[in-house]
Structure 1
């Protein structure tokens, strides 16, 4: 009996200890997840941002910044420029965000040519801290400059034929009794009206092409049919100048594309070659397949293009020889249209030229079922 007096309490103590040990083992683990802390993630976000991010204290000193801030010139030697510092003072006083724009002399040049425009905003963070958030706006500035140039060029190009027609119409009225003069002036009015119509048509075509992505619906197009149609469109210019256009044999090649656009591009290349070639000189067309692309080349023996101007000839309204272009009725949009047609087809237009020797413009368009077609390396001149 005396043993039971000691055994029972001992059992009760053992059961109690076992119960609490079991609860301790079943207790859920620490809820804090494994991995980087929030502060580390925020630091990584700041360092990887495409925008320049700078944190300033109440005195305008740099507390933290990311690499992009140095690239864009927002921070130099761990300091911001005076303009940004003054803007930060205004933010501290008013508590309102302030927009900033860095001047050209303040832009970063660490990786070569600096950005053309850096714009941003300074915002309060509380406790007298502020953040500078700036980005490279060069693309927007270039786009706006391009838009202004385009509007100015279009205005100039439209005023020329319109003004000419107004003057010619007055001449017709003054010479109403002179049949010969009326016919001469009327012919010139018709010429200017045709030129104006061509300009408007090409402007519409270019506006549809420019900025568009690759054409959504592509069909198998016969290259030989494109060449025939383009030759037909260039026939008037060819007959006017007396220039012969030689073509290679039919190729039976197919490309992925839009037939109408491809004909327009090739016709523009032919008309350009004829316009800038001396009378009697040859112009030729050749076609071949190179890998997954079909190349249609137009070669002339004309005046050629200096190397420093070879990229500019694809700009809208750019003319290598303004006097010759106006004499032939050129709009300055033909090669720009060729460039955009090629790009919309997933291809390109290449240029080889030498002054006094001539030029070769090569239109490269993806071949139809290029992965299964063989390579036909027919001769280019």
Structure 2
């Protein structure tokens, strides 16, 4: 402590003042000299002890901060006393809690990133391997024309699948990063539904499925038209895929004072009970999923709806069909 220049200056000033007072008191009387001397010694001693204590507390705070920088967030230095040191301790503890939370979130993000990269690698590996095998076969000059056409068509299918997968992953990454600016337009729900249906008309026609729409044209919701269409399309694709030929897909929508609700249901094979809690999880494939399924469509629909302060739930019974209920709240408090 005595090595600090400010303490040396303080002691010099206090000793100088005390010495001057003692000399002046000596010329007044011996009693005054003794009184001033004792008082000066006590004041200088008290100041020295108090300053030493403060430096000791500051040294403990410095040691605490060094432990924080080394990654130890377990210490608690809060106290219930008044004063600027106690306030400083409380503020440091609050910062420590925030750093601890951020450290936990970073670790969690690293684990999620590792899992996501692993899942993406797995999804890309299959079509890439398939295309490599077929490209090697195509290099054979003796390959029959019929096989050459078949392999070329298969490569195109795999490329289209890769394009869709990459596009979907980019969209999801934008939503996760919070870089998507969702609009808050007043959308006519019947226009939203008809726009989404256009993307699934061909598979519906191929499987000769029926689709019914029920709802008043005046029903509206607050959201982003294009992104919400994307979410509805992915839900409809799931319904079409898991509904048998000649099956029915029903869409209804209503509005009340609290929210606008869109219900999409089918009479298909349904979702097993064990799969229900995980169907919105990225890359999850249920027991009834097709071989070409990636497990990203419903995850994207979930992210889009949730990002617009909406809610989505699913009810299903094996062999009787599935129902998706989407709610867009009129006002979020």
TM-score range, shorter chain: 0.5 to 0.7
Deviation at 1:100, TM superposition (A): 7.6
Is 1:120 the counterpart of 2:73? The answer is yes
SS of the equivalent of 1:268 reads: helix
* 1:331 has 2:294 as partner: yes
Match of 1:97 among 45, 64, 67: 67
**Partner SS state of residue 210, structure 1:** helix
Does residue 224 in structure 1 map to residue 190 in structure 2? yes
Aligned-pair CA distance for 1:198: 0.7
Gaps of 5+ in 1: 1-54, 59-90, 102-118, 125-130, 372-381
Q: Within the alignment, does 1:283 sit opposite 2:288 as a pair? A: no
Distance 1:100 1:297, change over 3 A: same
Normalised to the residue count of structure 1, the TM-score between the two structures is 0.59
| Structure 2 residue 145 is the aligned partner of structure 1 residue 179 | yes
Displacement of 1:97 after TM fit?
A: 3.2
1:236 CA drift (Å): 2.5
Q: 245-254 or 141-150: which moved more?
A: 245-254
1:153 is displaced (CA, Å) by: 0.3
Match of 2:234 in 1: 268
SS of residue paired to 2:290: helix
Could you tell me which of 344, 350, 360 is aligned with 2:313? 350
TM-score (norm 2): 0.67
Superposed displacement of residue 343, structure 1:
1.3
Instruction: Determine the C-alpha separation between the residues in 2 that align with 1:228 and 1:98.
Output: 57
Match of 1:361 in 2: 324
Report the Cα distance in structure 2 between the residues aligned to 1:98 and 1:217, rounded to whole angstroms. 42
Call closer, same or farther: CA 1:176–1:209 in 2, change over 3 Å: farther
Asked whether 1:199 is paired with 2:162, we answer no
175 and 232 in structure 1: CA distance in 2 versus 1, 3 angstrom threshold: farther
Q: Distance in 2 between matches of 1:290 and 1:213?
A: 31
Q: 1:103-252, aligned counterparts within 5 Å? A: 120=73, 135=100, 138-174=104-140, 177-212=143-178, 215=181, 217-252=183-218
1:251, distance to aligned residue in structure 2 (A): 2.8
CA distance in 2, matches of 1:96, 1:291: 55
**Distance of 1:172 and 1:216 partners within structure 2:** 46
Unaligned 5+ segments in structure 2 are 1-56, 78-91
How far 1:319 sits from its partner (Å)? Answer: 0.9
Q: How many residues align?
A: 253
Contact 1:98 1:123 in 2 (8 A): no
Once the two structures are superposed, what CA deviation does each residue of 1:111-142 show, in whole Å capped at 9, x if it has no partner? Answer: xxxxxxxx526699xxxxxx996745554433
Aligned partners of 1:168 and 1:189 also within 8 Å: yes
Which residue is equivalent to 1:313?
279
- Alpha carbons 1:294, 1:364 under 8 Å: kept: yes
Give the superposed CA RMSD.
3.2
Give the structure with the higher percent strand: 1
CA distances 1:346-371 after superposition (whole Å, capped 9, x unpaired):
1111111122221111221234xx79
Classify 1:142/1:240 alpha carbon distance in 2 versus 1 (closer, same or farther; 3 Å).
farther
The answer to which structure has the higher helix fraction is 2
Structure 2 match to 1:341: 304
Quote how far apart the aligned CAs of 1:304 are: 2.0
Tell me if structure 1 keeps the 8 A contact 2:311–2:326.
yes
Indicate conservation of the 8 Å contact 1:251/1:287, yes or no: no
Deviation at 1:279, TM superposition (A): 2.2
State the alpha-carbon separation in 1 of the partners of residues 142 and 208 from structure 2: 35
Change in Cα spacing, 1:216 to 1:191, as seen in structure 2 (3 Å) is closer
Q: Which residue of 2 aligns with 1:303?
A: 269
Q: Give the Å deviation of 1:280.
A: 2.1
